Structures are given as structure tokens and as C-alpha cells.
Amino acid sequence: MKKVYFFVLLTVICSVLTFNSFAQKTESNKQITRCVTMQRLEKLFSNDLLSRANNNQRNANTNTGPFISSYRLNAVVTIPMVVHIVLPNPYVVTDADVQSQIDRLNLDFAGINGDSSNASATFLALRGHSMIQFCLAKRTPGGQLTSGIERRTSTTTSSPLSTEDPIKYQSKGGLDQWDPNSYLNLWIGNDDGSGEILGYAHFPGTTPVAEDGVFINYQSWGSNVCYTLPDYSKGRSATHEIGHYLGLMHIWGDDNGCSGDDFRNLTEVQSTCSLPAGLFNPPGSGNTSADIGDTPNQGGETTNCSVGEVTDACATTTPGKMYQNFMDYSLDACLTMFTKKQVERMEWVLDHCRGSLKTSLGCQPPASTITRDASPLESVNPGGVELIGCNSKYYSSVVFCAGSFVPKVRIVNNASTTLTTVTVGYQIDDGTAITKTFTVNLALGASAVVSFDPISINAGNHEIRYFTSNPNGNTDQVPANDSITTSFTVNGSTTVPFTENFLSTTFPPVNWSLINPDGGVTWQRHEAGKGNPGSAYMNTFNYDKNNEVDDLVSPRISFNPVGIDSVKLSFDLAAATYSDPSDPSVTMDTLQILVSKDCGTTFTTVYKKWGKELRTVDTPQTDEFIPTPDQWRKENVDLTSFSGQSPIQLFFRVTNNFENNIFLDNINVMTSVVPALLKSQGYLVLPNPFRQNFVVWHYHQPTDLRFIRVYNSLGQLMLTQEYKGNAENYIPIDLLGKPSGIYFVRLQYLDTRKNITQQIVKY
């Protein structure tokens, strides 16, 4: 099953919810551990007994004195937020998506969200209204103007169970934290493939400080239908995780029993933030008459969207469970409230344990701002990505073929004034610079992709420089960022006979290309090969994303059609399944071969196999498949229909469904001219006479051939070969060791009227 988790890392780590089969290798009925907060703490303690001793001492010294009269803030506090987006296409999360999520947070934390009618009158009376609000940062830690959003095009994902979460480090492909004393840092990205992790947060006063902040899976960020999961599309993952960031526990107390306490002191999670007596329960006081909390006892997390009053083994009577609480695991549509005591706790934590956020200048723009500063942000074509509707279109830094090329660049407005016009240009190598003025509408930090007219470009290595000028018709105030340069290669072509055996460790091979839309697992070289070391393979065994497509693209292959009778593609294939391909509930990996005559604009499918037809081993392989020499099969594809349409390109396409690996080797494209007699007669047996071997050669594949039998001159049967619709055009016959003399070759077909007997001589 596809695993969905909420994570809170103390690092507090919390898993949540199972839905939609994503991977056959995970048992569909496997019990998911939805929260491992305490297990994580026990692991930390077991690795450092001094930490346990220090923690026990800290708990012993916790203030249990008189209650404070008020834990509330005196006025609204707006927390500056910086949103770090790290994705293969970070522009799928738009600026509008970010702002809508912040708007949702402000409604939820103020307790004025309009969807709270699902709470009973009893719970509505407990509903809290905090004075905590959020804004996108308007200045950087260095005092420069910012939109509060930064993006990085990267395949780096969040890995909450690693020592360091790579998404939070520039050096690991992510984005570095801004000063956590002045900003709430949010990282938006994908998880590391161990499951769909919707988010995690750091409690106040916990380590590592360099990772303090919140991670949210982009699939649960905001409400954009292009990428959010339907059950998590109301932005409540961020509300939940920021609740942890401000000191709240899960509502059921994380024990999956009736003794759990969601109003424990933060020192119990190794935080240096020690709460006053009125905001936590001393050990043993939770769920008793001395409990200071206002949330009902609850036996475990909620994993659906309940309706009406719901009880469990711990909340046995009215009003039942508070499944509407933001700190439960209900689906987004059911999470609608914090309680008054939770609000008190968050506001006290903000005031005393994250107090520097109250005086941060992050929400205020710098006094002096730049009003005209446009720049090229990154190359889109070549080597980048753009968003078209809900789909990401990736452009390789290797252009498939010489000819038409469309330069594209993403430009950004770095100034406080909205950018309405800008001149953008490009220059390839030392050629003539081409410029064009574009009309745009870009607020601070907003970007757009601009395109130029198609140009013709030769094969080889090139550099392209993109540049901007004249923002809003005036001089750019920051000329230092007005140009970027990137390198790219335009692939050359080749002619038949064409062979690729992947002997070289360079991959993709010279003049080959890869298309990897999701930036994840793709074609790579493997040492296993058929006959010689080296092959191309797709690691679908470890690729747990269904229906992702990856292409291995050949050079353009040219051939002279004059006199050609056939064009043939052959290759060696090794493939296995993980699941039983006869199971109708399982979708198999698919290998297709597509031919393009126009550099990948249009395609003709010439080969498509999956499941039983694709695999080269008869039984499912539950271990990762690496082929042995006898687990390969020769595949042949007729390309003769393209003989007058040269040059062509071959796209070897795998559609992944998390089954097992697929290998290709010894790819050959050959043309042939056949003897006139073969064309007229339909078959030949040659050479005649022969010394040891002869060949039965059919002009068209003999799918109805059933037997080849060879008799000596006495009528004795010397050899039989049987076929069941799988006979090749070219069939070698070996009579090594047989005496010289006259033999008779008998070809027997499904239609017996076609049966043929031919005399041949062995010398």
C-alpha cells in the first residue's frame, strides 16, 4: 500500500494514514506504525545515557509552582515565514499556492475558519482563537528585499530518519535554513521514498538547531488540484506541524492507550523549553481530575473523516473524541479547531521559547528598496523545466538532433515595483545576439518563462547566454545579475549499420539522450550484459512511483532507401516481474519502442510488451533481478516501413509500476537487400551445396511454419525442429558430423498445401 505519514521530529517523527496502492512490494494489510515519537526518544536515550540522566534531572527540577494568571499574548504577533521549495520542478508550487496556504494558517490559528461547524456545541465552546498570525518574509537575514519564497530545482528529498535531512542543506541539494531566531522556516518538497510523509516539525528548544522549522510534503501543501492529494488538500498539514513547532502534542498523547497525555511538559521530549505549571500535567496527572488540559482522553489517532459524536475505549461517553482537533490525524476536511488551552500553550511558547520571533523585522521590507531589477533566473531550454497546465515539461541539456531549437528562459522580478515590460535576449557561442521585448506582470519574486522563435542549430557543443535589460523601459539598477550562461550539446546523427553494446562506461553513450520527467530513477548502465560486460537498464525494482515514464533515446539514424528491402532492429532483452502477471489487480512494467521522424514531436509505436510477454524468466522474482547469461532473449522489430523516411530516432520507453528490472543490450539497426529469388519464391534454402550448415530463409516471417525436418537419401530422419508461431525469418540448420551426400529438407506449415521439400547436397 502507498504509505502516508505525518512526521514530527524532535525531532519528532509521526507517521499517518494508508491509502491507494502505490507499490506491490508492501503488504496491503500491513499494520502501519503511525507515530514513532516515543520510540525515537527511546532510541536517543539508549544511545546516550547521559541524555536520559540529564532529562530526568530536568524533569525533577521542573517548576510546579502556582499557576500564572494568564498565558496569553497581549497583542497579535505575526511570525515571518520563509518558504524553501525543493523539487524537480519547484514552480509547480506557485506563489499563489504559497499565499493561499498562509491565508489558511491565519484563519486556522485565529479560529475563524468557516468549516468548524463539524464540531459539537460542547467542543465549539472549547474552541480557541489565537493571536498568532503569519506573513511571508519581506526582508532577508542580510536586510535585502525578498518575496519570502525561494526555490531550487533539485531531486533532493526530505529524509526525516537520517542524521541530517538533506532538503535543509544547500550542500546536499536542498536549501539552507534562514536564521531560526527571526524566521519560521518551511521546506516544501517530496519525501525520500520510504513512504508518503506529509510533514514533520521540531519542537521548540530541541536540536539540531540548524534544522529547526517545518517540512511539508508538497502533496499536502495548500489546495492546488494539480499536485495535492484529495484527502489532504485543505492545508491542514501545515497547521498541524506548526502546532508542534509551537509546543503542542498529538491529541491522543502518543501512547495508543488511555494513559497518554497531550499536555506533557516539553522537557519530556528533550526540549529546553520548560512550561509553567498551568500548561502541563505533572507525570500521572493527565486524564485525572487534576488534568489541566481541555482535550478529551483518546485512545489513538483518527484516520478518517468522522461525522457526529464518535467514542472509543478511552472517550466512552459524550462528547466523545475530539477528532476535529488540528493535532489529530483526521483527513483535512475534518480538522477544524485548536482548544483554548492549546492556544494558551502555543502563545506562551511563542512568548517565552520562541520570543525572538516577536521582535523579528522579517515581515517589514527594508527602508530602501530597489524598484527596477529584472534578471534571467535559469535556462529552461536547454536543461530546465517549465509548467504547462498541471504538467512539468523538462528540457534536456542534450538536444536530440540538429535543426529546430526554441530558446526559453525563466526571468524574475527582484524589485519592489511590478515588472510590466522587459527586454530579454540570447547569444549562442559568438553569434549574433537576438533580443525581444516582452510584456509581463510580475510582482516581487514572481517569475515567468519567455520563449523565442525557433532557430536552426548545428550538432556539437555550445554555450548560450541569456540576458535582460530595460525593466519597465528604464535602466536596471542591479546590472550584475543581468546574464546567465549555460552549456548544452546538440547530438549528431549516425548511419546504418548501427550498433550499441554499452561497453563504454560513459552513459548515456555518445549521441544518446535520456528523458527523465520526474528527476528520479532513470536509465543507467549496468555491468551485466549479453556476451560482453555492459547494458542499459531500468531499476524498476526500487522505483516506487507508478506510471512514471523514462526514455532512452538513440541518435538519429540515417539510411539510403535506394535498393533496401528491409530495415531491422534487434536487441537483447532481460526482464523479470515481481508480481504474478496473471493477477488482474497488478499493473505491470511496460517496455515500448517508439520511432520518431521529427526529433520527438510525433511517434509511432513499433514494439510494446509487458508481463508474461516481456519477462525472460518464467516465475516472479522477489529479489532484485540481475540476469544470468541464459536469461536473455533476442528481440527483432521490423522497421522496413520507415525505409523511405530516414533519419529516424528510437525511443526505448519504460513505464514503471514498481515490478522488477529491465535490461537492454546489443542494439542493432541493419538494412538488407534480399535475393530476387527470395522475393519471388518466398523462401530459400542455401547454400546448396553446403559443407556443414545451411539456412532456411523466408522473405516474410513464417508464423505458420510448424516443422523443419531433414531426411537422408534412405528416407531416415536426421533432424527435427518444431515451431509454434515463433519461427524467425532466418533459421540456421547444423548437420555437423553427418556424412556427405544427398539430403531432403521438408518444410511443413499449418496450411499443408504450402509444404515444401527441397533436395540439398552436403560435401
DSSP H or E segment with residue 405 = strand 403-405
Q: Which three cell numbers stand for residue 319?
A: 462528547
d(Cα 211, Cα 702) in Å, to the nearest integer?
Answer: 67
What is the phi/psi pair of residue 109, to 5°? -75, -30
> Which cell numbers in the block locate residue 372?
527596477
Which residues does residue 672 pair with via DSSP β-bridges, in sequence order?
566
Cα dihedral: 528, 533, 537, 542 (round 10): 40
- 425 CA to centre of own chain: 33
Cell of 368: 530602501
Distances (CA, A) of 28 to 13, 19, 25, 269: 23, 9, 9, 33
Closest CA to 523 of 544, 553, 547: 553
Integer CA distances (angstroms), 738 to 98, 198, 620, 757, in order: 81, 72, 42, 19
User: How many whole angstroms separate alpha carbon 317 and alpha carbon 328?
Assistant: 19
Within 13 Å and on the Cβ side, how many CA atoms surround 363?
13
Burial environment of residue 306 by CB neighbours within 10 A (0 to 12, 13 to 18, 19 or more):
middle
Tell me how crowded residue 640 is: count the other CB atoms within 10 A of its CB: 14
For residue 100, what are the CA distances in angstroms to 107, 111, 136, 149, 447? 11, 16, 11, 13, 18
346 and 372 Cβ atoms separated by less than 8 Å: no
H or E segment at 387? strand 385-388
Please spell the DSSP secondary structure of 607-620, one letter per residue.
EEEEHHHH-SSSS-
> Which of 661, 626, 577 minimizes the C-alpha distance to 24?
577
Minimal CA–CA distance to 391: which of 517, 549, 521?
A: 517
Cis status, amide bond into 561, omega within 30 of 0: no
Amino acid letter, 184: L
Give the active site residue among 150, 241, 344, 548. Answer: 241
The yes-or-no answer on residue 241 being catalytic is: yes
User: Which residue has 519461427 as its cell numbers?
Assistant: 727
Give me the residue label for grid cell 520510540.
39
| Distance (Å, whole) CA 322 – CA 339 | 10
SS3 373: coil
Q: Are 316 and 341 in contact (CB under 8 A)?
A: no
Is residue 80 reached through a cis peptide bond, with omega within 30 degrees of 0 on the bond before it? no
- Residue 744, burial from CB neighbour count under 10 angstroms (0-12, 13-18, 19+): middle
CB neighbours of residue 699 within 10 Å: 18
8 A C-beta contact, residue 552 and residue 664 = yes
What are the backbone angles phi and psi of residue 633, rounded to the nearest 5°? -140, 140
10 Å CB burial of residue 409 (0-12, 13-18, 19+) is: buried
Q: Can you tell me whether residue 302 is helix, strand or coil?
A: coil
Exposure of 148 in the CB half-sphere (CA atoms within 13 A): 24
Active site residues: 241
